[in-house]
Amino acid sequence: MSTAESEDVYSDLYSIISQVTSNTANDIEQLPYALTFKTSLIFVGATVGGLLFGYDTGVISGVLLSLKPEDLSLAVLTDFQKELITSSTSVGSFFGSMLAFPLADKCGRRITLAICCSIFILAAIGMATARTLKFLICGRLVVGIAVGVSAQCVPLFLSEISPSRIRGFMLTLNIIAITGGQLISYVIASLIQDIDNSWRYLFAFSAIPAILFISILDFIPESPRWSISKGDVLYARDSLKMLYPTASTHHVNSKIKQLIIELDKLRIYKDVSEPLLVQAHSPIRYVDTSVSGTSSPSNGKRLSSNTERNINTISSSSAILSSLREPTSNGVTSHRKKRHRMEPRTIRALIVGCVLMFFQQVTGFNAFMYYAAIIFARFDIKNPLLPPILIASTNFIFTFFAMYTMDSLGRRAILLRTIWIMTLGLLLCSVGFGHNRVSLLLTSVVIYVAAYASAMGSVPWTCVEFLPLNRRSFGASCIACTNWLTNALVSMTYLSAINTIGDESTMLVFAFFTVCAWFFVYFWYPEVKGLSLEEIGKVFDDGVDVHYVFRTYH
């Protein structure tokens, strides 16, 4: 097919679905969304990985406080060995994030999360029974792999199943789960700290949420976008009906058509036109969605005229997509020639996401989360786990602020309004360390954590929404890998840094990075509130249009 003919066919195709691509009035994602028990179970279940992420990263503070050298057949447990135990999870998470990319694309988001929970269970058993330092570090590496997979796959999954009107809310729900897991780990550590080998129980408890997730797996649908990218239109339709139980047949089928067209524009179809055509031309497998249950070839249900028209349009779309993939004279389709190229707008989106995630970690938050008990134990506090509980509680509570403002105020706005408060908190921390004043130190840490949780702790994880579907898993892995590399760097060097340059100077280094983060957000981070995943790409078409939303819709 010639270039001119291809352009004509595309023109005809886009004319057919013009009401879908150019007008969002009928977009299922723009309709008012009411949470039901079943949809709530889907979203809450999807965040179990985040809960385990938070628990297994936060639990180390209580573990280091109760872990004794003889428990690991050691004469003494050095600061360097503590750093190894702590940072090994971050190192494992880096590899887990790399593994998550091909796993999520090949097996699907839902099955990947199930595999992730299975790894959590195995790691929990291994860490709880560790008798040597090497075995414990290996267990932390394995749980880090699971943490890395969940950190990449949970926001990816949530971004693809959440309506655009509440996508920021749902993505922040994952952060709520993470901070809640951290808080739970501190509370449990405080309650059982007087029990012998309490750290073993802390590790063992992490298997419980993973077991619960696997038990409700049948109630969680696959991402409709992933299903369509694999050619399974029927499963995508069933998933949309589960996610939007009150939506009409027209809205569900319109969304399917829109996703098919958007996926083709991204050049991600690879050998899926045949399945699409088989399903789209098979009226016996399409049933009126007003009928509950899964369609069956034997039910003989006659379609309504509206449903038939919707399916015929899908069939026309699929046929045109198939014709566009006919082999050229060289025997290679034009789509396959380009599928390995990353578009400039995708590169820009990925850079923004990775840089923001770098600033999330290099500003020092996890230094407090991992080593808070050790830090405050130096001040001769009776229960050194109480300050960490206060810090984790602040983190948990103010994440709700991010949840309720991300979609109303916007991601960019809350970042610009809170990063400077983080800077202030770190400067006060430096003063508190310098004058050895526990009250000032604790107050300043709370200020810093409150500002961090309100934006910086949540927003970088939502950057996966910047990426097109054909690069979303890969991009999410890159963003997560950036997180874990920086996290490992901070956790592996913090105790050594405060022993070398002092606590107050270390806080000043963190404060310097918060200033850099503010300027990066001001010049490079765009606002995307209210945009569908398919429209966000326009923000990066020509550079990074940080004011696209306001100029276009306000």
Q: Are the C-beta atoms of residues 238 and 161 closer than 8 Å to each other? A: no
What is the per-residue pLDDT across 104-155, written as a single tens digit (0 to 9) for each? 888 888 899 899 999 999 999 999 999 999 999 999 999 999 988 887 788 8
Question: Is pLDDT at 62 greater than 80 in this prediction?
Answer: yes
**How would you classify residue 304: left for phi > 0, otherwise alpha for psi between -120 and 50, otherwise beta?**
beta
Q: Are the C-beta atoms of residues 373 and 388 closer than 8 Å to each other? A: yes
Angle between helical axes of 207-215 and 109-128 (0-180°, round to 10): 150
Instruction: Give per-residue burial for 287-302: e unless 16+ CB within 10 Å, then b.
Output: bebeeeeebeeeeeee
> In this predicted model, which residue has the larger pLDDT, 337 or 375?
375
Question: Is pLDDT at 311 greater than 70 in this prediction?
Answer: no
Please state the rounded mean pLDDT for residues 17-35.
Answer: 57
| Sequence-separated (6 or more) residues with CB below 8 Å from residue 430 | 503, 504, 505, 507, 508, 511
Q: How far is CA 476 from CA 181, 198, 463, 521, in A?
A: 22, 36, 8, 19
Nearest Cα neighbor of 449 from 497, 379, 514 is: 514
Q: Which pLDDT score is estimated for 215?
A: 87
Question: Is pLDDT at 278 greater than 80 in this prediction?
Answer: no
Say how far apart CA 83 and CA 370 lie, in whole Å.
10
> In this predicted model, which residue has the larger pLDDT, 255 or 13?
255
Q: Which pLDDT score is estimated for 554?
A: 60
HEC profile of 21-83: HCCHHHCHHHCCCCCCHHHHHHHHHHCHHHHHHHHHHHHHHHHHHHCCHHHHCCCCCCHHHHH
Nearest Cα neighbor of 103 from 115, 91, 93 is: 115
Q: Which pLDDT score is estimated for 49?
A: 85
Q: Which pLDDT score is estimated for 127?
A: 94
Number of helices (H) and strands (E), helices first, in the chain?
24, 0
For the record, the structure tokens of 286 come out as 């399409």
Q: How far is CA 475 from CA 104, 175, 301, in A?
A: 12, 19, 43
Residue 307: CB atoms within 10 Å: 21
Amino acid (1-letter code) at residue 358: F
Question: Is pLDDT at 270 greater than 50 in this prediction?
Answer: no
Q: Are the C-beta atoms of residues 179 and 392 closer than 8 Å to each other? A: yes
Say how far apart CA 276 and CA 259 lie, in whole Å.
13
The pLDDT confidence band at residue 435, using thresholds 50, 70 and 90, is confident
Say how far apart CA 116 and CA 153 lie, in whole Å.
9
For the record, the structure tokens of 5 come out as 């003919």
Q: Are the C-beta atoms of residues 17 and 313 closer than 8 Å to each other? A: yes
Concatenated DSSP letters of 271-302: S-HHHHHHHHT-GGG---TTS-S---TTS-PP
Give SS3 for 545: coil
The pLDDT confidence band at residue 325, using thresholds 50, 70 and 90, is very low
For the record, the structure tokens of 246 come out as 């009150």
Nearest Cα neighbor of 410 from 547, 295, 505, 287 is: 547
The pLDDT confidence band at residue 13, using thresholds 50, 70 and 90, is very low
Q: Alpha helix (H) ranges present in 406-468?
A: 411-434, 438-451
Out of 49-58, 266-275, 415-424, the most confident range is: 415-424
The pLDDT confidence band at residue 343, using thresholds 50, 70 and 90, is confident
Say how far apart CA 153 and CA 50 lie, in whole Å.
10
Q: Which domains does the chain have, with CATH numbers?
A: 3-17+224-291+303-338 (no CATH), 37-220+342-553 (1.20.1250.20)
What is the per-residue pLDDT across 157-175, written as a single tens digit (0 to 9) for each? 888 888 877 777 777 788 8
